[in-house]
Structure 1
Amino acid sequence: MKIYSTENNRQQKVSIIVPVYNGEKYISRCINSISNQDYDNLQIIVVDDGSTDNTLAVLQKIHDDRIQIFSISNGGVSSARNFGLSKATGDYVMFADADDWLNPNVIGALVSAEQSYGYDMILGNYSRNTEFSKITDRISFKELTKDEAYRQIINPYGFYGSVWAKVFKMDIIKSNNLLFDKNISVGEDLLFVYQYLNLIKTVGYSDAELYNYCINNHSVLHTLDEQKIDQRLDILKVYEIILKQKNIKKQSYYNRLVAIYVRELTDWYCYAVHFKRNELSSLLKTKINKYWYTFIQDNTFTVKNKFAAFLKYHFPILAYNLKG
């Protein structure tokens, strides 16, 4: 295990991209958590994605010469992040969501680890706390194999495929013209991280809680309506893109990927039957059939989780009513 102090190697610039849409209630908390880091060489890019509230007015009250505020027409988070990348001039790039915030003193430690061992990427942990967490100025890191890194981001029990709590090298992004897929509105960050991971050699990991994720406690099952189904189905597109990768079946994480995909499929099949989307439910059922045996045999999910998927697959109306 390697330990790094935030006092080392401060010369490299870090660009932090923050897309925001109607974030007047929380954007200042996010930006202040970045501005108040003990690492000075920052480019803070805030992309207002067509907000209709007072987000811009709130941002203009924050005084920090390192902040660059851009206002664009509403195009979704992928477009906003891509715009931010087009303006980024840092050696490294990080992302933050407007309703989240960084813990103190983490950027210096991340840059130090990048420079000391030449990691092409660093994965960090996160918390779901509602208050600022205390992070010391010494954070431990370890090197992951590529296989371990893939398994870390393809994870059913966390948000490790998200772009936040990670550090990317800008030259790798730029030289490969890596962008977020504007046609995918759910899971676009997992696809970006996976594609970036395909391009690199070394990955560092810290289990320290570097980032605070503001979670919505309302279940999708309780808030989903028919109009949202097609948009949320984008997550299936992401898994399908990855499943089409060359030699994917030879990868150690293949069965895990399939298991997560099938669990998602059973969820959406349950919703499609409930909303009487017959064509969609038929398509989803065909996809479930293709991978069902792998899902049952794999140990990614508990017996309880598998039984829930079984109910959604074979008794979707009952399963929906039990959950709803």
Structure 2
Amino acid sequence: MKNINVSNKFISIIIPTYNYSFCILDTIHSVLQQSYKEFELIVVDDGSKDDTRAIVSNIKDSRIRYIYQKNQGANVARNRGFHESSGGYLIFLDSDDVLEKNYLEELLKVAMRNSDANIYGPSKKGYFTDLGFNVLSELGPCPNPDLLESWIKHDWWIFTSCVFWKRENLVKVGGWDEALHANQDGDIAMRALIEGIAFIYAENAPPVLITSHKNKKPSISDTKSQKTLNSRYAVFLKLEIILKQKGMLNAKYQNALGVGYYVLAQSALADSPEFSEICYRRFREMCGLKKPPGSYLNWIGILMLGIRNKTRLSNYIGRIF
């Protein structure tokens, strides 16, 4: 790992990328036009087969470094960028995120007032049109003072690019889990929260624009492949183990984990019903007969028929009526 810059005000921005040459230029330009100038930009190319190298190499700015590695996954690329970086604070952007001009400046202001915390800001997910950015969804501050509980239950979360990591905090949690293929951002943030690391909201920060591409094949973490489902399941198992080890698996977090398993069971029903049953059993182990998210009528139906048969019946009735 490089020596840390003497000033905590120096920022390392890391972009892992794989075959995103069609949009990475916009992301890089949004970084270079920041009002705050004390940063380095590290692009870690995870084995792209397109013209990413040429596009990045053609940008003449001494703050940019391009690193190429064979394809090993986004978290390997993020950790590589982290170990090559020297900033006191770090941001991990995806290669299709766009920052407003004063994004770094506003996050750093809050960081200087909260020296031990991670800082996070808002986001808008959508897509660009000729008329501007069409917003599909927005995320802001957590309405629950317990961020960990909300994140486990999937009531709320933060996109990877919206977190301003203090270097020492990233070291404390051991970096990104390179075995995961999905929910990597949730895994590392929830581990940080368990460690007692505070996440402070920067209310004046502009939202990061998270781009949804209609014509781009989704990445492994955006699909419901078995590999993705297994990764999401593995995050819950890991959290359960860590909470037990730290004596933190109280009734609140046990219930939150149960709800997390239930949400995963629902999302997997159509593509992997057997896996959905496994997640549903984990919910029951955690929560017993406690009602999960949804109506009481839905819950009674699940208790009577099971989650698969209840869903089949609902779908059948829906087709009739």
Alignment TM class, shorter chain as reference: 0.7 to 0.9
How far residue 319 of structure 1 moved from its aligned partner, in angstroms, is 6.3
Does the residue aligned with 2:266 lie in a helix, a strand or coil?
Answer: helix
Residue of structure 2 equivalent to 1:213: 210
1:48 corresponding residue in structure 2: 45
Tell me what 2:154 maps to: 156
The answer to whether the 8 A contact 1:266-1:309 is kept is no
Residue 57 of structure 1 and its aligned partner are, at CA, apart by 1.2
- What residue is the counterpart of 1:266 in the other structure? 266
The 5 Å alignment of 1:85-104 reads 85-104=82-101
Equivalent residue number for residue 109 of structure 2: 112
Is residue 183 from structure 1 mapped to residue 179 from structure 2 by the alignment? yes
Q: After superposition, give the CA deviation of every residue in 1:155-191 in whole Å (9 maximum; x if it has no partner).
A: 525542x3220111112323x3612111110012211
Q: How many percent identity over aligned positions?
A: 20
1:25-36 to structure 2, matched below 5 A, reads 25-36=22-33
- 2:309 aligned residue: 314
- Are the equivalent residues in 2 in contact too, given 1:126–1:210 (CA < 8 A)? yes
Counterpart amino acid of 1:13? Answer: F
Output the CA distance in 2 between the equivalents of 1:232 and 1:256. 18
Q: How has the CA–CA distance of structure 1 residues 88 and 146 changed in structure 2, closer, same or farther, with 3 Å as cutoff?
A: farther
CA distance 1:29–1:114, shift in 2 (3 Å): same
Closer, same or farther: CA 12–254 of 1 in aligned 2, 3 Å: same
Residue of structure 2 equivalent to 1:240 = 237
Q: In the alignment, is the contact (CA less than 8 A) between 2:169 and 2:197 conserved in 1?
A: no
Q: How does 1:5-24 map to 2 (within 5 A)?
A: 12-24=9-21
> Is the contact between residue 262 and residue 280 of structure 2 (CA under 8 Å) also seen in structure 1?
no
Q: CA deviation at 1:252?
A: 3.9
Q: Is it true that 1:172 corresponds to 2:166 in the alignment?
A: no
* Cα gap change, 1:305 to 1:187, in 2 (>3 Å): farther
5+ residue gaps in structure 1? 1-9, 134-140
1:303 corresponds to: 295
Match of 2:249 in 1: 249
**Counterparts in 2 of 1:265 and 1:54: CA distance versus 1, 3 Å:** same
Structure 1 residues 251 and 95: CA distance shift in structure 2, 3 A: farther
Structure 2: which 5+ residue stretches go unaligned?
Answer: 1-6, 134-139
- Give the CA deviation at 1:253: 4.7
Distance 2:294 2:31 in 1: 39
TM-score (norm 2): 0.77
Question: How do 1:126-145 and structure 2 match up within 5 A?
Answer: 126-131=123-128
TM-score (norm 1): 0.76
CA shift for structure 1 position 16: 0.9
Partner of 2:136: none
1:128 aligns to what SS in structure 2? strand
Residues 8 and 88 of structure 2 are in contact (CA less than 8 Å); yes or no, is this contact kept in structure 1? no
The Cα of 1:84 is off from its aligned counterpart by: 0.7
Question: Aligned equivalents of 2:85 and 2:202: distance in 1?
Answer: 25
Q: Residues 19, 249 of structure 1: CA spacing in aligned structure 2 closer, same or farther, 3 A cutoff?
A: same
- Say if 2:255 and 2:286, in contact at 8 Å, map to a contact too: no
The answer on whether the counterparts of 2:93 and 2:161 sit within 8 Å (CA) in structure 1 is: yes
Cα distance in structure 2, aligned partners of 1:95 and 1:181: 14
Matched, 1:290 2:288: no
Please identify, of 314-323 and 193-202, the stretch whose mean Cα deviation from structure 2 is larger: 314-323
User: Which secondary structure state, in structure 2, belongs to the residue aligned with residue 233 of structure 1?
Assistant: helix
Q: Which amino acid aligns with 1:156?
A: H
In 2, Cα distance between the equivalents of 1:43 and 1:151? 34
Q: Which amino acid aligns with 2:147?
A: A
Per-residue CA deviations over 1:71-130 (Å, capped at 9, x if unaligned) read 000001111101111101000011110111122201111111111232411121101243
What are the superposed Cα offsets for residues 178-231 of structure 1, whole Å, 9 maximum, x if unpaired? 12111110012211111222334443113554311123569x9xx968xx2233
